[in-house]
């Protein structure tokens, strides 16, 4: 064996030793083909437009935090801007639109859940893979879509504070609890029943309101919910959030 061959062998052995000492990098697997979260118990909403409070109440119960639907609803701020509070009369007919009656979006729902001591987060423009990954970890999710996944015209609503929000008739909430190869399993706030919707139905209905959702990781180690304060000015009752937001007329 000549010197050149010997040198090549030494280098090869040295390289093998270095490679064997390198950390093994494991890439996260994709979400499993199906997942289902056990233990979410649905109940029918108590008012025509209280779907968000019903979904939040049932989701909180999954995490061991108990309160009444009306108790959650009373803690929600009121506003004509759905991103800041509940819009309108909760007892108006389903399908009502702002400002008479409508509902509330993910931000105030997550903030109110935090005020009950849950680690809640509002999400917007989320995606299906993110939703599936959350469900695969065993955490149910509140999602905003429409009754029976109806597709209606998305309108732009300008609230008292000058902000614009997308609004759609029949907006509705569900608790996502699972998925499989063909669709998602959702607990309907209307009657508490679990339904399966094909992705072809769910995805466009979810997209109407920018794929909103609320996730909860469990009880919060440092609960510190927002404070809602009412103030009457100029003949209107307005809500101040954390001393900063004026959420619009009552």
Express each pLDDT in 80-101 by its tens digit. 999 999 999 999 999 999 999 9
Mean pLDDT rounded to a whole number for the chain: 85
Residue 62 lies in a domain: yes
Residue 222 has pLDDT above 80, yes or no: no
Residue 5 lies in a domain: no
Residue 25 has pLDDT above 50, yes or no: no
Report the number of distinct structural domains present in the chain: 1
Lowest mean pLDDT among 2-6, 60-64, 77-81, 91-95: 2-6
Residue 223 has pLDDT above 50, yes or no: no
Residue 50 lies in a domain: yes
pLDDT for 2 equals 55
Q: Between these two residues, 81 and 17, which has the higher pLDDT value?
A: 81
pLDDT interval class at 119 (50, 70, 90)? very high
Q: Which domain holds residue 94?
A: 40-246
DSSP assignment string, the chain: --HHHHHHHHHHHHHHHHHHHSPPP-PPPPPPS-EE-TT------SSTT-HHHHHHHHHHHHTT----HHHHHHHS-B-SSTTTSB-B-TTSPTT--TTTB----HHHHHHHHHHTTEEEEEE-S--HHHHHHHHHTT--EEEEEEGGG----EEEEE-TTS-EEEEETTEEEEEEEEE-SSEEEEEETTT--EEEEEHHHHHHHHHTTTS-EEEEEEE-SS-----EEEEEETTEEEEEETTTEE----
CATH number at residue 208: 3.90.70.10
Residue 22 lies in a domain: no
Residue 193 lies in a domain: yes
pLDDT for 1 equals 52
pLDDT for 30 equals 77
């Amino acid at each position: 064996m000549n010197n050149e061959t010997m040198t090549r062998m030494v280098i090869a052995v040295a390289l093998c030793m270095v490679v064997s000492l390198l950390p093994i990098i494991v890439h996260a697997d994709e979400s499993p083909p199906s997942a289902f979260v056990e233990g979410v118990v649905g109940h029918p909403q108590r008012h025509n437009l209280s779907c968000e409070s019903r979904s939040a109440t049932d989701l909180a119960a999954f995490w061991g935090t108990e309160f009444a639907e009306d108790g959650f609803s009373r803690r929600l701020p009121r506003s004509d801007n759905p991103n800041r509070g509940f819009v309108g009369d909760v007892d108006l007919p389903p399908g009502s639109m702002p400002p008479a009656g409508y509902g509330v979006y993910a931000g105030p729902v997550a903030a109110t859940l935090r005020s009950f001591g849950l680690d809640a987060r509002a999400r917007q423009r989320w995606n299906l893979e993110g939703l599936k990954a959350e469900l695969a970890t065993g955490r149910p999710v509140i999602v905003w879509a429409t009754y029976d996944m109806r597709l209606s015209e998305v309108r732009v609503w300008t609230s008292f504070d000058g902000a614009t929000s997308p609004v759609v008739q029949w907006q509705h909430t569900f608790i996502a609890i699972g998925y499989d190869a063909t669709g998602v399993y959702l607990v309907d706030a209307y009657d508490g029943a679990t339904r399966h919707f094909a992705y072809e139905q769910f995805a466009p209905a979810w997209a109407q309101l920018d794929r909103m959702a609320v996730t909860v990781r469990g009880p919060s180690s440092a609960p510190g919910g927002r404070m809602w304060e009412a103030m009457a000015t100029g003949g209107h009752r307005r809500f101040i959030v954390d001393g900063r937001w004026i959420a619009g007329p009552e």
